[in-house]
Amino acid sequence: MDLVLKTSGQQCPVGSNPTPSAGWEEAPGGGRLATVRATPSAFERIPVSSRPEGKASSRRQPVARHGILRSPNPFVQILTVLGAIVAVVVVSVAAVGGFYVWDAARAVADSGVSIGEDDDALPPTIGEIEGGVNMLLVGTDSCEGQDLALFPRCAAADAEGERNDVTMLINISDAPRRVTVVSFPRDMIVSIPSCTGEDGTQYSAMSAQMINVSYMYGGLACSVLTVKKLTGVDIQFAGAIRWTGVINMSDAIGGVDVCLSDDISDIHTGLDLAAGQHTLVGAEALQFLRIRHGIGDGSDLGRISNQQQFMSSMVRKLQSDGVLANPGTLLNLANTAVKQVTSGQLVLSDTLANPQRMVQIAMAVRSVPYEDIVFVQYPTAYAEGGLRVRPVTSDADVLFAALAANQPLQLTGSTSDGNGTEVVGEATAPTPTPTATPTPGSTEAPPVEPAPTETAVALPSTVTGQTAAQVTCTVAER
C-alpha cells in the first residue's frame, strides 16, 4: 500500500518546530486515513526501553547447508528506508504543516516478528530517538517470490530453506552520535542457542555451526539470539531482506556509485564490469553485493569489504542533496519500502515495524559525520582446513568494549580481510546550507562550545574495515 502525502492547510510560523498530533479519519472509498497535524511546539524525544528475554527448548541438531548464490546487504536497504521516511516527514511538516499516511503504517506493524523485546506504545510525536540503538540486519537467500530468470538456482531441487548469508549488527551510540556496522562472515563457526522455529518446532542448542544457519532453524529471532550470545549485546531491533527487495529498493534510490580498480568478471553472478566508476541499479547492484568469485581472494571476507564500499557510498548519497532534498525521490523510497514489507520481501521485528520508530532512529543518524560512520568485520582466523573461519573473541572484546563506552574508533588494519578493496581517496561531506542573516533586534543563539577531544580506541589489526570518509575501490582476484 502506498504512502500518500497531503497538506492539512495549517500554516506554521517561520522558525517554529511543529510537533504533530494524530488521529484517524474515514478515507474516500473506504478504509481509514491516519492524520498527523502540526502544532508549533518543540520536537520531543521518545525514550526506548530494552529488556532482553531468552528463548529455550530442545530437540535435534540440524546440519548446515548452503548454495553458491549469496544474499545482498540488508543494512543499505534499511538505512534507505529510514532516510526516506524521516526526510519525507521533515520536508512535509516544515513546508506545509501536516501530512496524511494511509493504513500502510498498520500493515507494516501487523507483519512484525517478535524477537523477545517489549515495544511500548508511542505517542504521536516526531523526535530523535533517545539513547543508543542496537539493530541486527540480515540478508537471506530465500527463493520465495524470486525471479527464476535472475536466480536459476531457485529452480533446483535443493533450493528450499532460508539462510542469513549476510549478518550485520548496527550500533548507534548516544550523544555524541556514532554509527558502527559489524559484519559477521557467513562461514564463521559459532554456537547457536536453543530456538523456536517459525512453525513452532523446538531446536536444542547447537555447537560448531556456521552462523548463517541460525535463520533457517529459528527465523529472525534465532539470528538475534545467536549474535547476542556471541557478542553480549542487547539487540532491540531487527530486520531481514530478500533478493527482490534489494532490487526494488536499489531502483527506487536511483543507483549507487561504486569504484573498480580492475576489470571484474564472475560467472556465478553474471557480473562483468570494466575498471572505473559505475552507477549500479536493480539486478546489477544486487550482483555487485553478492559477488565474491573474481574479487580479492575469492572468499566471503573479500565480499564483505565489497559490500562495505557499497554501503559507504550509499551513506554519502543519503546525506547528499541529491536524495534528502528531493521530496519526489523520498516519497518513492518510502512507498517502495512499504511494498517490500507487504509483499514479504522485507521482514521487520515488531519493535521496528512502526514508521514512527523508523523516523526516530533515522533522525539520530542522518547527520553523523563520515569519519564517525565505521564499517568493520568481526575478527576471525581460518579454522583447520581453511574452509571455515573461527571468531577471535579477544580482539572482538576490544571493539565491543569501545562501543559500550561510546568511544571513537581507530582502524589499524587493512580495509579488507580478503584483499577485496583498497583506499583511493577521502570523501568530502556535503556543505551545510547557509543560515539567514539575523534581522536587526533579533536574538542570536549563543556560540556552540566545541566538543572535548576524545582519545580514539585503536582496534586490533584483525578488525578490518573502513569509514564512510574513505573512498575505496574493488580489487580483482589475483
pLDDT at 17: 42
Fold for 18-47+54-147+161-429+455-474, please state it: Aminopeptidase (3.40.630)
Lowest mean pLDDT among 124-133, 189-198, 273-282: 124-133
Closest Cα to residue 238, out of 336, 367, 383, 116?
A: 116
Taking the model in full, what pTM does it have? Answer: 0.74
Q: What is the C-alpha end-to-end distance of the chain, expressed in Å?
A: 47
**How distant is the alpha carbon of residue 365 from its chain centre?**
11
pLDDT at site 286 = 86
Report strand pairing: 389-391 vs 380-382: antiparallel
Computed on alpha carbons and rounded to an integer, the radius of gyration of the chain in Å comes to 22
| pLDDT for 234 beyond 80 | yes
How much is the mean pLDDT over the chain? 76
Strands 129-130 and 46-47: parallel
Q: pLDDT of 418-427, one tens digit each?
A: 999 999 999 9
441 torsion bin: left (phi>0), alpha (psi -120 to 50), beta (else): left
Q: Centre a 10 Å sphere on the Cβ of residue 102 and count the other Cβ atoms it contains.
A: 18
Give the neighbor-by-neighbor strand order of the sheet with 465-467: 346-348, 237-241, 133-140, 164-172, 179-184, 373-377, 465-467
List Cα–Cα distances, 130 to 221, 367, 374, 424, in angstroms.
24, 15, 21, 37
pLDDT at 300: 92
CA atoms within 13 A on the CB side of 100: 14
Q: What is the pLDDT of residue 89?
A: 38
Distances (CA, A) of 1 to 31, 107, 336: 12, 8, 9
Q: What's the pLDDT tens digit per position in 35-74? A: 444 444 433 333 434 443 444 444 444 444 444 444 444 4
Residue 80 has pLDDT above 70, yes or no: no
Q: Does the structure show a pLDDT above 70 at 215?
A: yes
What pLDDT, on a 0 to 100 scale, did the predictor assign at position 406? Answer: 96
Read off the pLDDT of each residue in 383-387 and give the average, rounded to a whole number.
90
Q: Which residue has the cell 494511509?
A: 102
pLDDT at 114: 84
pLDDT for 448: 44
**Distance, CA of 357 to chain centre:** 14
Domain ranges (residues) in the chain: 18-47+54-147+161-429+455-474
